[in-house]
Amino acid sequence: LFREQAHAPKINKNAVIDNDLTISEINQIKKGASHIRTGEATLPATALCLPPSPLRSYAYVTDTKPSPAYKMMISEVDLLYHESTFADDQAARADETFHSTARQAGVIARECAVKKLIIGHFSTRYHILDTLLKEAREEFPNTHLALEGETFPI
C-alpha cells in the first residue's frame, strides 16, 4: 500500500503580489500560520494558498486468495492492482493454490470502493484474456488488464 503524503501548500502568486508578502511571510504561511500585519485584517493561510491536490494512493494484492484481512488497508485507494490468476470456472483451483479469480478481484474492488482496478498475474492457460476482463468488469466496471507497456495514471 502506498499513500501519498501531504505536501506544503502552494502559495497563490496573485496573493503574494496583492498583499506584498515577504519571503519570511510566505514561509510562515506554508507552515500553516495566518498572515498578520499591524493595522490590517488577519488573512488565513488558506486564502493565500492554492487548493491542495488530492493525495493519491495505490495498493497491490498478489499471490493470495481473497481475505478480509487486507480489505480495510486497501479501502478507497485510487488504483488497485489485484491478481486474477484464474477465471470463475477455476475458482476451486484458485482456492487450492492461494490465488484469486478475476471475478473475486472485481468483488473486492467494489466492496473496497476503489477508483480503478488493474488485474494481472494471469495463468498461462489464458492466451486470450477477454473472459477474465469480462468477469472482473461484471463486478467492477472500471477494470483494466495489466499488459506489458501499459501505464495507468493515478
Q: pLDDT tens-digit profile of 73-93?
A: 999 999 999 999 999 999 999
Confidence of residue 41 (pLDDT cuts 50, 70, 90): confident
Residue with C-alpha cell 493470495? Answer: 64
Amino acid 37: pLDDT: 67
- Among the residue ranges 21-35, 115-129, 137-151, the one predicted with the least confidence is 21-35
Domain ranges of the chain: 2-48, 57-145
Burial of 59 (0-12, 13-18, 19+ CB in 10 A): buried
- pLDDT above 80 (res 39): no
**pTM reported for the whole predicted model:** 0.80
CATH for 57-145 (3.40.50.970, 3.20.20.10, 3.60.15.10, 3.30.310.10): 3.60.15.10
- pLDDT above 90 (res 22): no
- Among the residue ranges 53-62, 64-73, 123-132, the one predicted with the least confidence is 64-73
- pLDDT above 60 (res 38): no
- How does the average pLDDT of the chain come out, rounded? 91
Question: Which residues have C-beta within 8 Å of that of residue 24, sequence separation ≥ 6?
Answer: none
3-state SS, the chain, equals CEECCCCCCCECHHHHHHHCCCHHHHHHHHCCCCECCCCCCCECHHHHECCCCCCCEEEEECCCCCCHHHHHHHCCCCEEEEECCECHHHHHHHHHCCCCEHHHHHHHHHHCCCCEEEEECCCCCCCCCHHHHHHHHHHCCCEEECCCCCCCCC
